């Protein structure tokens, strides 16, 4: 099975698991997905993640996070740049998500980072997704 857009698949699996109130979700592993999971954890959107292997397949297991009343921390994830329509931004064009309430994730020459980090580092890149 080959995925044309593994990042969109990653986001969809997390979105579906959050809506179904699952505690964790497994996604096929890749370096980029590990970086996305790392940022989600650093920004407090997920409880944890770990790289694991089952039946010879490498997986990223993402542990979802809910508030005290079982409300999801992640209200939405949106893919911005897609394989059919890439979206690149310069360091001065990085958009704010919900007036700073959400985050966006970029791939830059200095690695995968949030829009806030990219502004601080003074780099632009491909705008992968927005999370709020």
List pLDDT tens digits, range 106-116: 999 999 999 99
Portion of the chain with pLDDT greater than 90, in percent: 92
Identify the pLDDT of residue 4. 86
CA distances 119 to 20, 93, 95, 109, 116, Å, are: 35, 9, 10, 13, 5
Q: CATH 3.30.1490.10 occupies which residues in the chain?
A: 77-131
Task: Looking at the structure, give the CATH architecture of the domain made up of residues 77-131.
Answer: 2-Layer Sandwich (3.30)
CATH number of 6-64: 3.30.1370.30
104 within 8 A of 95, measured Cβ to Cβ: yes
pTM over 0.85: yes
Q: CATH 3.30.1370.30 occupies which residues in the chain?
A: 6-64
Report DSSP state, residue 91. T
- pLDDT of 64 above 90: yes
């Amino acid at each position: 099975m080959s995925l044309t857009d593994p990042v969109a698949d990653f986001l969809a699996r997390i979105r579906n698991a959050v809506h179904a109130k699952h505690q964790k979700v497994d996604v096929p592993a890749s370096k980029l997905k590990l970086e996305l999971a790392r940022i989600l954890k650093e920004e407090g959107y997920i409880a944890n993640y770990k790289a694991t292997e089952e039946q010879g397949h490498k997986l990223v297991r993402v542990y979802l996070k809910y508030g005290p009343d079982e409300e999801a921390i992640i209200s939405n994830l949106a893919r911005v740049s897609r394989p059919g329509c890439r979206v690149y931004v310069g360091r001065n064009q990085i958009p704010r998500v919900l007036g700073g309430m959400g985050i966006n994730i970029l791939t830059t020459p200095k690695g995968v980072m949030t829009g806030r980090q990219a502004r601080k580092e003074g780099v632009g890149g491909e705008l992968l997704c927005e999370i709020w």
